[in-house]
Structure 1
């Protein structure tokens, strides 16, 4: 019976993979997880890919601010710091070098995310104009409806 109690205690001490503080052995800060690095012109696509990745890793709360930094005396402080450091690494690894330099001194992943959204997330009038022009000049030209729809969705 003692052996059973010991083994059940060890199971309870195992990290919960559903916790946002869970870090898998394959998670490391320089891990590449988006197709293209963030540049001056691809924030919408990049941020969507990054959010999908962070959602899959259960780490969105570190960039949107819903998982707040605990006080230094709180039991989760070191867990939070470690996870935030990994998320900061994921973000900076996926940013073009010129942009990376402007965010590398941020204290938290949510500060990096907020800074990037402030700079790149606003609607850009010249880009909107160009997209409208491209949309207006796009034609089906014998392509299947599915292919044409996919082309329109990409625009």
Structure 2
């Protein structure tokens, strides 16, 4: 195989399926604003619905609901998962008020951020007994 053909073949092997949750579109970037309103103490349900719709559209909902688990560091998918999780964390934190962002800053994954937000806002939104 000539050098050019070998290079083309290698690129095809490395291509990520666009239907894969690990696919990152060239127009995606971490600081992208994805919802109409910034998350504040009063709009979690609306924000969550918009963000969920966006994550489904981008095929990334599994990173927040836990259905796509973090692979072992020795897995060939580890870096792809880390890249996509970092992107989703950026999407989530970009759409939050600074005070809320500071409260979840120790979460290591997008799923941990999502879980912390749900726990915090479900508790605050629960009816009083």
TM-score (norm 1): 0.74
Instruction: Give the corresponding residue for 1:113.
Output: 114
What SS does structure 1 have at the residue aligned with 2:55? helix
- For 2:84, the equivalent position in structure 1 comes to 83
Question: Unaligned stretches of 5+ in structure 1?
Answer: 127-155
1:98 is matched with 99
Q: Which runs of 5+ in 2 are unaligned?
A: none
Question: Greater relative contact order: 1 or 2 (C-alpha under 8 angstroms, separation 6 or more)?
Answer: 2
* Alignment of structure 1 residues 39-78 onto 2, 5 Å: 39-78=40-79
Match of 2:36 in 1: 35
Q: Which has the larger radius of gyration?
A: 1
Superposed CA RMSD = 1.8
| Alpha-carbon displacement from aligned partner over 1:4-28 (angstroms, at most 9, x marks no partner) | x755664343221100000111111
Spell out structure 1 runs of 4+ moving beyond 6 A: none
- Length-normalised TM-score, structure 2: 0.88
